[in-house]
A = this chain, B = another copy of it.
Amino acid sequence: MQVLVTGCAGFIGSNLVDRLLGLGLSVVGIDNLSTGQRPFLEQALRNPRFSLVEADLLDEATVRESFKGCDMVFHLAANADVRFGTEHPRRDLEQNTIVTYNVLEAMRVNGIRRIAFSSTGSVYGEAKVIPTPEDAPFPVQTSLYAASKVAGEGLISAYCEGFGMTAWIFRFVSILGERYTHGHVFDFYKQLKADGTQLRVLGNGKQRKSYLYIQDCLDAMLLAVEKSTEKVNIFNLGVDGWCEVNHSIGWICDSLGVKPELLYTGGERGWIGDNPFIYLGTSRIRALGWTPRTSIEDGVRRTVAFLRANPWVLESRA
Contacts and interface: CB of A to CB of B under 8 A. Distances in A.
Interface of A: 85-86, 89-90, 93, 97-98, 101, 104-105, 108, 123-125, 134-144, 146-148, 150-151, 153-155, 157-159, 161-163, 232, 234, 272-273
Contact of A158 (B90, B137, B143): B143
Nearest to A136: B138
A140 B135 CA distance: 9
A34 B7 CA distance: 38
Closest 9 CB pairs of A and B: A147-B154, A151-B151, A135-B137, A147-B158, A141-B154, A86-B162, A141-B157, A142-B161, A150-B154
A148 to B, nearest CB: 8
A45 to B, nearest CB: 34
A137 B138 contact: yes
23 contacts: A85-B158, A85-B162, A86-B162, A86-B163, A89-B101, A89-B162, A90-B105, A93-B97, A93-B98, A97-B97, A125-B157, A135-B137, A135-B138, A136-B137, A142-B158, A143-B162, A144-B162, A146-B154, A147-B155, A147-B158, A150-B150, A150-B154, A151-B154
A158 B141 contact: yes
A284 B97 CA distance: 31
Nearest to A157: B141
B151 A97 contact: yes
Contacts of A104: 89
A157 B85 CA distance: 13
A161 B153 CA distance: 21
Contacts of A139: 138
B161 A151 contact: no
Contacts of A137: 135-138
Given A90-B101, A147-B154, A151-B97, A272 B162 contact: yes
Given A97-B151, A155-B144, A273 B138 contact: no
Contact of A140 (B146, B147, B232): B232
A273 B162 contact: yes
A86 B141 CA distance: 27
A135 B162 CA distance: 26
Contacts of A163: 86
A125 to B, nearest CB: 8
A124 B155 CA distance: 14
A267 to B, nearest CB: 15
A234 B157 CA distance: 23
Nearest to A148: B154
